[in-house]
Amino acid sequence: MEILKEISEALQVGNAKKVKELVQKALDDGIRPNDILNNGLIEGMSIVGVKFKNNEIYVPEVLIAARAMQAGMDVLKPLLTASGVEPIGKVVIGTVQGDLHDIGKNLVKMMMQGAGFEVIDLGVDVSAEKFIEAVNEYNPNIVAMSALLTTTMIQMKNVIEALKNAGLRDKVKVMVGGAPVTANFAKEIGADGYAKDAAEAAELAKTYVV
Ligand code: B1M
């Protein structure tokens, strides 16, 4: 669809205003929020990722594209998240220590909210200690961790070890995800589950509270 291509292109050049307007127009045209997300916004961001990798663009351009992505996600948010319903469970979510990538984590949060969870978002660069404090404070069903760097994904293991040391491991399900994370890695570090994308993450989370 032409408008989804336009959304992807506006995102790639970091035009947040245009992304916002186009996402709204796509919704008004009756395009489903998930199609706008996957074939417009995420599609655009994956092209940004390839250009970044090939040194065709640099951190500032990626940051501007990330802001445009967030602007588009803000328009979709009310449609992807449930409101006014009794939560089906509680999730503590964060991007692990040393890692500042939050777009995927924010999407997972939205999808989980859409599935009926109350989500406590600890943000980015979250240390094991902060995860433990939050588990003690909020008593969640699930701890959800995101990592986008091969150098930070190992922090997920530290959080699981910290949960064990604090005697909390059996009280929560731990799920992990993010581009470099795999199902095998999740198993190796002793997580309960892995999801490859935000929709799958919400589905997996539901299986932990039924
Ligand atoms: Co960064 N970055 N970045 N970056 N960045 C990557 C991740 C990279 C792959 C780019 C590349 O080289 N191609 C590369 C990592 C290489 C590696 O480790 N293997 C990289 C690098 C190297 C870096 C820096 C080190 C660059 C530098 O400074 N030299 C630096 C590190 C900063 C830090 O974190 N300490 C850095 C910085 C940044 C920006 C700040 C500029 C910006 C982040 C802005 C922000 O998040 N607010 C940024 C961005 C935007 C990217 C790319 C281009 C896009 C990431 C993204 O948002 N994708 C990325 C390249 C790429 O991924 N193609 C890249 C869209 C998002 C929807 O996808 O986050 O994967 P994603 O989430 C997916 C799934 O992974 C999954 O669901 C989502 C889809 O539905 N998912 C989960 C995510 N979390 C989950 C949790 C779950 C389940 C599923 O359960 C709990």
Task: Express each pLDDT in 152-179 by its tens digit.
Answer: 999 999 999 999 999 999 999 999 999 9
* pLDDT band at residue 210 using 50, 70 and 90 as cut-offs: confident
State if residue 49 touches ligand 1 by the CB under 6 angstroms criterion: yes
| % of the chain surpassing 70 pLDDT | 98
pLDDT at 75 over 90: yes
pLDDT at 84 over 90: no
Residues 6+ apart with CB under 8 A from 82: 113, 114, 115, 116
Q: How far apart are CA 158 and CA 176, in angstroms?
A: 13
Q: What number of CA atoms fall less than 13 Å from residue 189's CA on the CB side?
A: 24
pLDDT at 85 over 80: no
Q: Token match 């992990």: residue? A: 176
Atom of ligand 1 nearest to the CA of 102: 46
Give the 3-state secondary structure of residue 32: coil
Q: How far apart are CA 53 and CA 128, in angstroms?
A: 29
Kindly state the average pLDDT of the residues 187-201: 96
Structure tokens at 133: 């404090």
State if residue 125 touches ligand 1 by the CB under 6 angstroms criterion: no
Q: How far apart are CA 12 and CA 103, in angstroms?
A: 15
Which residue's CA lies nearest to atom 12 of ligand 1? 53
pLDDT at 193 over 70: yes
Give the 3-state secondary structure of residue 207: helix
pTM: 0.92
pLDDT at 115 over 90: no
- With the most atoms of ligand 1 within 8 angstroms of its CB, the residue from 101, 185, 200, 204 to mutate is 101
Per the prediction, the chain carries an average pLDDT of 95
Q: Token match 């186009």: residue? A: 22
User: Residues 29-47: pLDDT tens digits?
Assistant: 999 998 999 999 999 999 9
What is the rounded (10 degree) CA torsion for 100, 106, 108, 113? 150
Angle between helices 59-80 and 103-114 (to 10 degrees): 0
Q: How far apart are CA 15 and CA 59, in angstroms?
A: 16
- Tell me the longest C-alpha to C-alpha distance in the chain: 53
Based on DSSP, count helices (H) and strands (E) in the chain, helices before strands. 10, 5
Q: How far apart are CA 9 and CA 47, in angstroms?
A: 9
What pLDDT, on the 0 to 100 scale, is given for residue 204?
Answer: 97
pLDDT at 83 over 80: no
